[in-house]
Amino acid sequence: MDRRSFLKASVVVPFYFSKIVKAGESAQTKFIKSTQKSFDYLEVRGSYEQIGFQIGKYFGKNMKEIIQQRSEWHSQLINILNTKKGRLVSKELLRITQKHFPHILQEVKGTADGAGISFDYIWAMAIKSELLGLENDPDGCSSIFFRDKNNIWLFHNEDGHSAYKNLMFALKVIPPSGVSFISLVYPGIIPGNGPSLNNRGIIQATNYIGSSKSEIGIPRYVIGRAILEAKSAQEAIDIATMQPRSYPYHHHIGNMNDQTYFSVETTPGLSQVKEPEGLYFHTNHLLFEQTKNYKYEDEDYKNTSSISRYKAIKDELKDLDISRAKAEDFLKILSSHQNAPYSPCRHPKDEVQGLTLGTAFFDLKKGCFRLYKGNPCQAVKNNLYFDFKF
């Protein structure tokens, strides 16, 4: 598809999207340009449509750039969406999302309007895992949790396609619910997939779980976004484990106020919640008793990218004296290139285009969310980070 056709692409939007956003310009915004240490940052307050409109207005160029850079991938999404089965799946996912989280659809519609992009183009990215359930579009992230009598830390490498380099951005959203949140966001993807913190002290980071099949249910990105406005860890867990759901997912959920942390594995039909103590780590495959036998888990992805990074972290931890562990020790492990290109710190190599786009460090005792920009192997030693607090 050429650029002119792309920019003029149109779509028949469901009836509950028939009203065009006209009030987007009235939202309150504050924009800070990226630096060597920080991502582009937008603070926005308004209705959900207004919030989405401003996200699209400020970062529409990033979204268009991703669609252009990953044209083969995005064309595949649209081609699947436009099949008879794809339209049926999309219609059902829209219906279920509208039933449970209509405000998130308002936000997605606002984003498309603000960016001047077809709703289908944005919605296809919001349900990319569900559309590609019979295809393959693996992401990857690596996470380490540590608790002792003095510290409670969560470290998380946010990995994605190398095309997202220099296009990621941070948001602070003040929605009508009054639960504000800060999130690292992929252009064109609903906030909530990247590491996040809200003003009730709730943190979230996620790990993709590969699956060869998707179901009719709430899309995983919609669930991730809904958690951002949770008022408690229990509410976040209730949202994370909602059924019906369309695709597996793993959530790190914590509360900086009461200093609790939970690891939540979910699949269509089953979920399990654990409250790890001491040292714990997770990559992109299911570990828990009730979920690890999910029959549609992508075994090829699990046995290459995910287990490779899991083993690298496990090996690095063997040499660590936990009784004297410092935050820098865990950041060093997430900077490891062991088992590259499927290492904790990822760099593209040949056809493998995975890249660590940023690293989150949540200090639950200090109430701080530190976001390193880019690969931790460079960002940590060069202090390329920005601290967020409420």
For the stretch 99-116, pLDDT in tens is 999 999 999 999 999 999
| Residue at which a domain ends, from 130, 151, 177 | 130
Per-residue pLDDT, 14: 37
Task: Provide the CATH number for the domain around residue 79.
Answer: 1.10.439
Is 317 in the same domain as 371? yes
Is 104 in the same domain as 204? no
Q: Which amino acid is at 385?
A: Y
Q: Is 288 contained in some domain?
A: yes
Reported as a single tens digit per residue, the pLDDT across 227-286 is: 999 999 999 999 999 999 999 999 999 999 999 999 999 999 999 999 999 999 999 999
Q: Is 201 contained in some domain?
A: yes
| Residue at which a domain ends, from 130, 155, 189 | 130
Q: Is 332 contained in some domain?
A: yes
What's the mean pLDDT in 324-332? 97
Q: Is 72 contained in some domain?
A: yes
Is 234 in the same domain as 343? yes
Give how many domains the chain has, as a whole number: 2
Q: 277: which DSSP letter? A: -
Q: Whole-number mean pLDDT of the chain?
A: 92
Is 77 in the same domain as 116? yes
Q: Is 362 contained in some domain?
A: yes
| Residue at which a domain ends, from 75, 105, 130 | 130
Q: State whether the Cα torsion 14-77-128-188 is positive or negative.
A: negative
Q: Is 85 contained in some domain?
A: yes
- Model confidence at 9: pLDDT above 50: no
- Model confidence at 25: pLDDT above 70: no
Q: Is 22 contained in some domain?
A: no
Is 209 in the same domain as 332? yes
Is 219 in the same domain as 112? no
d(CA 228, CA 63): 22
- Model confidence at 58: pLDDT above 60: yes
Is 120 in the same domain as 155? no
The three-state secondary structure class of 281 is: strand
Q: Please list, in sequence order, all residues whose beta carbon lies within 8 angstroms of the beta carbon of residue 5, skipping any fewer than 6 positions away.
A: none
Q: Is the pTM of this model over 0.75?
A: yes
Is 126 in the same domain as 164? no
Reported as a single tens digit per residue, the pLDDT across 124-172 is: 999 999 998 644 556 689 999 999 999 999 999 999 999 999 999 999 9
Is 67 in the same domain as 102? yes
Is 120 in the same domain as 191? no
State the pLDDT confidence band at 67, using cuts at 50, 70 and 90: very high
* Helix residue ranges per DSSP H, 70-200: 71-81, 84-100, 102-115, 119-126, 128-131
- Model confidence at 65: pLDDT above 60: yes
- Model confidence at 13: pLDDT above 50: no
Per-residue pLDDT, 299: 94
Q: Is 9 contained in some domain?
A: no
For 152, the domain range is 140-388
Is 149 in the same domain as 262? yes
**In the block, which residue shows the tokens 């980070």?**
385
